[in-house]
């Protein structure tokens, strides 16, 4: 029997939040979900949540929202990656593109944890990332025991450090960090697919770098399990098939009805798209989901991006 939990989903209106909130509600949990935009309160209500406007970067706003909801568990899904929050994607300057997201991962996490303590919230689950960012040494597939890569000396370092901050403080607080793979599913990769269709998403070098993917609904189901089990520690929430860009990118193009991706040499990609894109496509390390399957009893409904891309882009 699942015990009913009062769950506070910070960032409940995002692409993942919108798949997560109805699942929590369907399990019988009482959900409060946040947005920065009062116009989305109706959406949150339709998903079955009590909607609340909250600015995750404002300690007072977070403190008030959490105190009013009096949750048992807080789930941190706040990012600011969309056009609405971050403007046009800028892969070459992730420090700019992710500036607000990085603050949501540092200050925003701290505000949520302070509010959790003040309100007596016993458990926190936060969003991490495990797609291509495993340490760039040894094998191509990493476990939770392996460090993440900090991309030292690149414009992505601040973002990697912000993610490390989430992990450090949430684990210290006895919570769980779910390192999701690259999302796909409703609304999650529309921008990337558009670039693929325009042949503006090339393979870099020989495309040897690995990535891990996860369908939004599988990310949501893992999150429900982490909430219900009051999970502690880090979990890779990725599908069963980490794969090199040379495999998934041409396949994504095929599923999207696009021509095969162009190929560009590393030097040119570095110039046009910067270090992060080059690392991801040539040296990225993917992730294993063995721990989440074993400890959370999680089973992805979309075990491979092969079937998932086809279904989503059909």
Ligand X SMILES: NC(=O)c1ccc[n+]([C@@H]2O[C@H](COP(=O)([O-])OP(=O)(O)OC[C@H]3O[C@@H](n4cnc5c(N)ncnc54)[C@H](OP(=O)(O)O)[C@@H]3O)[C@@H](O)[C@H]2O)c1
Which residues of the shown chain bind ligand X in the complex (CB under 6 A)?
11-15, 17, 34-37, 40, 54-57, 77-82, 84-85, 104, 129, 180, 182-183, 188
Residue 199: CB minimum distance to ligand X, A: 20
CB atoms within 10 A of CB 36: 18
Residue-by-residue DSSP string for 221-265: HHHHHHHHTT--EEEEE--S--EEHHHHHHHHHHHTTPPPPPEE-
| Min CB(178)–ligand X separation in Å | 10
Least distance (Å) between residue 310 CB and ligand X? 19
- Whichever of 17 and 205 has its CB closer to ligand X, that residue is 17
- 151 contacts 209 by C-beta, under 8 angstroms: no
**Least distance from C-beta 239 to ligand X, angstroms?**
12
What would the DSSP string read from start to end of 78-107? Answer: ----SHHHH-S--TT-HHHHTHHHHHHHTH
Nearer to ligand X, 36 or 246 (CB): 36
Residue 82 or 154: the one with the smaller Cβ distance to ligand X is: 82
Can you read off the two tokens belonging to residue 298? 């999680």
Least Å from the CB of residue 265 to ligand X: 27
Nearest-CB residue for ligand X? 14
Q: Which is nearer to ligand X, 84 or 314 (CB)?
A: 84
Residues whose CB is less than 8 angstroms from the CB of residue 193 and which lie 6 or more positions away in sequence, other chains included = 252, 256, 313
Angstrom distance (rounded) from CA 213 to CA 309: 10
Residue 28, Ramachandran bin (φ over 0: left; ψ between -120 and 50: alpha; else beta): left
State the Cα–Cα distance between residues 160 and 99, nearest whole angstrom.
12
Beta bridge partners of 162: none
Of the pair 8, 180, the CB lying nearest ligand X is at 180
Residue among 37 and 168 whose Cβ is closer to ligand X: 37
Q: Cβ of residue 221: shortest distance to ligand X, in angstroms?
A: 15
């Amino acid at each position: 029997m699942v015990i009913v939990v009062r769950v506070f989903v910070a960032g409940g209106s995002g692409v993942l939040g919108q798949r997560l909130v109805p699942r929590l509600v369907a399990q019988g949990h009482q959900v409060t979900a946040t947005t920065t935009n009062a116009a989305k309160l109706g959406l949150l209500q339709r998903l079955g949540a009590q909607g609340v406007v909250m600015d995750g970067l404002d300690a007072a706003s977070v403190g008030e929202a959490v105190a009013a909801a009096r949750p048992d568990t807080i789930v941190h899904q706040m990012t600011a990656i969309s056009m609405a929050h971050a403007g046009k994607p800028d892969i070459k300057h992730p420090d700019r593109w992710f500036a607000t997201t990085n603050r949501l991962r540092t200050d925003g996490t701290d505000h949520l944890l302070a509010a959790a303590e003040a309100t007596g919230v016993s458990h926190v689950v936060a969003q991490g990332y495990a797609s291509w960012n495993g340490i760039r040494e040894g094998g191509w597939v990493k476990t939770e025991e392996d460090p993440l890569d900090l991309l030292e000396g690149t414009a992505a370092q601040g973002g990697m450090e912000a993610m490390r901050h989430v992990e450090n403080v949430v684990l210290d607080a006895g919570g769980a960090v779910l390192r999701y793979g690259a999302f796909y599913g409703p609304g999650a990769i529309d921008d990337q697919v558009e670039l693929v269709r325009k042949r503006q998403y090339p393979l870099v070098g020989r495309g040897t770098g690995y990535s891990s993917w996860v369908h939004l609904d599988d990310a949501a189901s893992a999150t429900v399990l982490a909430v219900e089990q009051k999970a502690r520690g880090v979990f890779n929430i990725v599908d069963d098939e980490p794969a090199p860009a040379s495999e998934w990118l041409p396949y994504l193009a095929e599923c999207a009805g696009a021509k095969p991706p162009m190929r560009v040499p590393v030097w040119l990609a570095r110039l046009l798209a910067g270090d992060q894109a080059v690392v991801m496509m040539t040296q990225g390390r993917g992730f294993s989901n063995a721990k989440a399957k074993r400890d959370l009893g999680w089973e992805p409904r979309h075990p491979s991006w092969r079937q998932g891309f086809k279904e989503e882009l059909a």
